[in-house]
Amino acid sequence: MPATITCRGLQCAFPTGERPALQEVALSLPAGTIVLLVGRSGAGKSTLLHALAGLLADDVAITRQGAIDIAGHDPQSLPAARRAALVGLVQQSPDTQICTTTVEAEVAFGLENLGIDAKEINHRIDEALRLVGMRELRYRHVTELSGGQRQRLVLAAVLAMRPQVLLLDEPLSQLDPAAASQFLAAIDRLPSDGPTIIVAEHRTAPWIEHADRLILLEAGQVAADLGGDDFAAWDAAIQSLKAQEAPARAAANQTSSAIVEIERLRFAFGPRRPLVLDELTFAAHAGERIALLGANGSGKSTLLALLAGLHKPSAGELRFADAKSSPGVGLVRQNPDTLLLCRTVWDELAFAPRCAGCTSREVETRVRDAAARFRLEALLDRSPLLLSQGERLRVAVGATFTLHAPLLLLDEPTTGQDPLHEAQLMRTLTEAVRAGGPPECVMFSTHDLHVARTYADRVIVLDGGRVMADGEPEAAIEAYDALLRDRLARGREL
């Protein structure tokens, strides 16, 4: 049974924030609506969702004022089990939400907390897994699931509790288009008397046809509340903003010097293991921005790891133009947190040049340059671990940038970034490439077709470890899109 949601004068403040995270937010959402919540990073989307979920009270020193009413209750004042039965929350990363080891146990976890008996739990597990299309995976270990399956598992675990309100915090941000479609299909399968849904998302396009209403948050305030036909105009405005920020595309430049040449490259994680990369042949040239597209498991991250020297090819050749120049490749992995090693942002940026034996003057020059490019000047004395996710990513990219490697590899650099930060990051990298480096060439993997279309001069599509398309973005993306549609039509999991 869906619930109405009412907020009056909602205000939330963090002790360290310059301004309240939410200011005088007033909302009235009828039962059963699907609301799309948009806004830049730091606009207050997640804080609003956490407040609606009644989970702000557990956070240290956050002050909340104003009233929230969901089906006649303020979730914050309810006991944990009743609160979870009223409002369900699905967050961005499935890995930080999965609490148990198997699919069945994960769905059962919340139901056990509600004190439901075993027979009913069994029935609800079955029902929830059917809704998300994972019934046949009931007894699997969670480590055997793909990223998309894990996110649907989290959704199933929340739906099994039959909440009256479902809050989704960027649920598609880490999913490839096929997995995102399957997640959306699960939302479509919810019964007509299903929960009221609020979705906070940077990737708005997939939700446009599902949502009844769109709320824009800016600096913690409701800046716009749109309904129906206004969405299309809003989406067009966002795309136009991104296009303005996007640097001009250069023609694919395959006549300049090759930084790396790959010839008939094959790779498997062991002698009897299946091939992850199979007969790859291409070259990356100076001045190019190359996007790697492909479904989860297509070999994108493995290719980047091979180029960075983390694995050795099983067969074939990997030739760098200047084999003696070390380090020739910088790699920013998907989770920036695993790249941060030092106490301050300054030390992070200085780490690579110090290891390379640069003089202190050269170290300082590189640090100042990277700080200016990635807008980190104000953060140089702060601990990187206490920054926001977007800032941590910028530190990780900046810290890899100071290696001054000719080839910079980025694994999903725009995940979780709002359109403006995404555009700024990619613009900075483009300017560096256009200026002749470092880096001379940027190669990044992405699931976001818009990012590939906007920020790449060349797109390489991987499918099952093979190059399926390589060339101008439009043509390659069209080929990838056709592949996705074909796979989805045949109901196959990529």
Partner 1 sequence: MNWSHALRQVEPRPWLVRVDPRLKLLWVATISLGCIWFESTPMLAALGAVAALPLLAIRFPWRAAAAYAAIVLLVIWSTIYSQGVFYRGAHGRPLFTIIPAFAWNGETYAGLHFYAEGAQYGAGQSLRLVANLLAGSSVALSTSPERLMAALIRLRIPTALSYMGTAALRSLPLALEEWAALRLAYRLRSGRLRPGRRWAPFRRLREELRLLEPLLATTLRRASALAFAVRARGFDPAQPRTHFPPLAMRAWEKLACAALAALWLAAIYVTVAGWQAG
Binding site for partner 1 (CB under 8 A): 53, 55, 58, 79-85, 88-89, 91, 96-102, 104-105, 108-118, 121-122, 125, 143, 157-158, 161, 308-310, 326-327, 330-331, 333, 335, 337-341, 343, 351-352, 355-356, 385, 399-400, 403
* 81 vs 226 by CB, closer to partner 1: 81
* 351 vs 480 by CB, closer to partner 1: 351
CB of 332 to partner 1, least distance (A): 9
* 255 vs 338 by CB, closer to partner 1: 338
* 55 vs 451 by CB, closer to partner 1: 55
* 412 conformational bin, left if phi > 0, alpha if psi -120 to 50, beta if neither: left
Q: How far apart are CA 440 and CA 285, in angstroms?
A: 8
Q: Helices 419-434 and 389-401 meet at what angle, rounded to 10?
A: 10
CB of 370 to partner 1, least distance (A): 13
Q: What is the DSSP string of 54-110?
A: T-STTSTT-EEEEEEEETTB-GGGS-HHHHHHHEEEE-S-GGGT--SSBHHHHHHHH
* 278 vs 411 by CB, closer to partner 1: 411
Nearest to 427 by CA among 238, 291, 243: 243
* 46 vs 296 by CB, closer to partner 1: 46
CB of 24 to partner 1, least distance (A): 26
Sequence-ordered alpha helix ranges (H) in 275-376: 300-307, 345-355, 360-373
Q: What is the DSSP string of 11-35?
A: EEE-TT-SS-SEEEEEEEE-TT-EE
CB of 397 to partner 1, least distance (A): 12
CB of 227 to partner 1, least distance (A): 29
* 311 conformational bin, left if phi > 0, alpha if psi -120 to 50, beta if neither: beta
CB of 278 to partner 1, least distance (A): 23
* 24 vs 369 by CB, closer to partner 1: 369
Structure tokens at 258: 């090759």
CB of 97 to partner 1, least distance (A): 4
Q: How far apart are CA 455 and CA 440, in angstroms?
A: 15
CB atoms under 10 Å from CB of 209, counted, come to 9
The helix (run of H) or strand (run of E) holding residue 344 is none
Is the distance from CB of 441 to CB of 408 less than 8 angstroms?
A: yes
